Amino acid sequence: MGITSSFGIQTTITRLEPVPLDKCTVCFWDKDITRTVMERLKSQLDDARQSMQDTLRMISLRPQFQQIWDMLNSIQPVYNLGYLQINPKKLRISNFTTYRDTLLLSMVLSASPVIRQEKPIVNRTVVPDISDFDQRKGFNIFIDAFLDYDSLSNLLNAQIRNRRIELDKFGKYVIVDQCQIYGAGNERLIVKINFSGSDQGIFYLTGRPEYDQEKKLLHVKELDFDIRTKDFMLKTANWLFSRKIINDLQPYSKFDVSSYETSILSRINSELNREIKKGVLINGSVKKIDIIKIYPFTEKLVIRFNSSGDVNVVVNAMEF
């Protein structure tokens, strides 16, 4: 028993061969009419079998699968990450199997899932005919997560605040009082540093964020003075224009983001194991999540993750 490409029921009912338990006789001379009775019985069973097949062929399951398709097209909020849009494209369906008094079938879905920060418009489509396509296990999805610059600033302050940098060549020194990180909008970060010591003021550094996947570290590489700071130093405080400041601060421009990865992974997995509609359960797990790109936008640091795992949608009951 299966489903046609247009969601009709395709079935072949096989009649079992009836077997008489006793010989059938009539009249006082015991005429044996067992064969005649059995032929009539077989004819009636064949008619019933054909009628059942014709009735089943008239049934269409498209409305039921349209409801499932609409549910897959709906927007699912993902806690603190944004909104998941599954974007189903194709489906294939197995033949029916039976377990006690229940008919079971499996559905394989081809989709283009996306997680967005802003709630997208629901994309309602008509459930397509069942197709045959290469079956792939699991999913792969990109996720853009926002990290506040305040968090990075706090981490950097914890490492370098009150740090004294000696500039022996000039007989001067610099004390880092406060620092702030924000995006430059050109794939670089800006580090604003308030300092005191032999003089006091503000200077700016720029750097390029880069992620070390093996060590789970976010580096701010190519650290250098901002062009405005260079102009200021050359005109007013040439002694500040020293690579020693850069060299002393560079080791502290690394941030461990492994806990952030773990937090994202935990939140995704919690969202992949819940009831999304009465009688419809989603269960799965993300086995791997990697940071693949970092975008230092002006307001927030956008971290792009690539995640892979497995997910199943179990439909136990639906109100049709």
Dihedral angle over CA of 112, 116, 122, 124, nearest 10: 0
- Spatial separation of the C-alpha atoms in residues 86 and 91, rounded to whole Å: 13
In terms of domains, do 154 and 139 share one? Answer: no
The confidence score (pLDDT) of residue 236 equals 67
Residues 157 and 250 in one domain: yes
The answer to whether residues 24 and 72 belong to one domain is no
Is 152 domain-assigned? yes
- What is residue 162's predicted lDDT score, i.e. its pLDDT? 92
Which residue did the predictor score with more confidence, 5 or 104? Answer: 5
Q: Please tell me whether residues 154 and 251 are part of one structural domain.
A: yes
Q: Residue 98's pLDDT is what?
A: 74
- Average pLDDT for 58-64: 86
Query: Looking at the structure, do residues 291 and 155 belong to the same domain, yes or no?
Result: no
Check: pTM over 0.85? Answer yes or no. Answer: no
Asked if pLDDT for residue 177 goes beyond 90, the answer is: yes
CB atoms within 10 A of CB 59: 10
* Mean confidence (pLDDT) of the chain: 80
Task: Give the per-residue pLDDT at 64.
Answer: 85
Average pLDDT over residues 76-92: 78
Domain match, 101 and 114 both: yes
Whether 293 is in a domain gets the answer yes
Q: What is the pLDDT of residue 23?
A: 75
- What percentage of the chain carries pLDDT values higher than 70? 91
256, 272, 300: which is the final residue of a domain? Answer: 256
pLDDT beyond 50 at 61: yes
Same-domain status, 162 and 245: yes
Check whether residue 286 and residue 141 sit in a common domain.
yes
In a domain, 79, yes or no: yes
pLDDT for residue 320: 45
Q: What percent of the chain has pLDDT over 90?
A: 7
Domain region containing 109:
62-146+259-315
Last residue of one domain, picked from the residues 38, 57, 76: 57
Task: Indicate if 189 and 207 belong to the same structural domain.
Answer: yes
Specify if 119 maps to a domain.
yes
Q: Are residues 45 and 115 in the same domain?
A: no
Region 59-83: what's the mean pLDDT?
Answer: 82
The reply to whether 320 falls in a domain is no
- As for how many domains the chain has, the answer is 3
Same domain, 225 and 245: yes
Region 270-279: mean pLDDT is 73
Residue 81 has pLDDT above 50, yes or no: yes
* pLDDT reported for residue 135: 54
Identify which has the larger pLDDT, 284 or 74: 74
pLDDT at 163 exceeding the cut of 70: yes
In a domain, 115, yes or no: yes
Long-range contacts, 64-68 (Cβ 8 Å, 24+): 64/318, 64/320, 65/7, 65/91, 65/127, 66/126, 66/127, 67/318, 67/320, 68/107, 68/127, 68/280, 68/315, 68/318
With a cut of 70, say whether residue 99 has pLDDT above it. yes
Per-residue model confidence (pLDDT) at position 164: 92
280 and 308 in a single domain? The answer is yes
